[in-house]
């Protein structure tokens, strides 16, 4: 261990990053700038905390961490959008189509 290692601001290996206000504000701004947005909650894994995927009418999507599945449901209710459990219903075809179009055009 070096002399200044303790002052580094990098998170330690094995420590999961939790949701932040920046994550929540990104989701709010993203939702307000698109229409037909639906939310899909993804469960916590060994690698990632609980996340929510927002999918717009055209398949454009974004993913951010949330504090819990209940926090995701509260967020969706506050913004008046439907929310689904991604582990049960899966993701909409328009999301997969959007990603395929972006890959084909070289944007991803």
pTM: 0.81
Domain that holds residue 60: 21-105
Q: Per the domain annotation, does 11 fall within a domain?
A: no
Q: Answer whether residue 9 is part of any domain.
A: no
**Sequence-distant (≥ 6) Cβ neighbours of residue 83 within 8 angstroms:** 38, 39, 40, 41, 52, 72, 73, 76, 77
* 4: three-class secondary structure by DSSP: coil
Q: What pLDDT digit, counting tens, does each position of 70-88 carry?
A: 999 999 999 999 999 999 9
Q: pLDDT digits over 36-64, tens only?
A: 999 999 999 888 889 999 999 999 999 99
Number of domains in the chain: 1
Q: Domain for residue 63, yes or no?
A: yes
Kindly state the helix (H) or strand (E) to which residue 41 belongs, with its residue range.
strand 38-42
How far apart CA 1 and CA 75 sit, in angstroms, is 43
With tokens 């916590």, the residue in question is 44
Residue 40 lies in a domain: yes
- The answer to the question of residue 1 being in a domain is no
């Amino acid at each position: 261990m070096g002399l200044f290692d303790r002052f580094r601001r990098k998170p330690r290996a094995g420590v999961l990053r939790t949701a932040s206000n920046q994550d929540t504000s990104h989701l709010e701004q993203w939702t307000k700038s698109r229409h037909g947005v639906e939310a899909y909650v993804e469960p916590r894994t060994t690698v990632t905390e609980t996340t929510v995927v927002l999918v717009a009418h055209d398949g454009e999507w974004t993913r951010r961490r949330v504090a819990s599945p209940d926090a995701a449901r509260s967020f969706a209710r506050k913004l008046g959008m439907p929310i689904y459990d991604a582990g049960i219903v899966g993701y909409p075809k328009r999301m997969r189509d959007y990603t395929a179009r972006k890959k084909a055009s070289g944007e991803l």
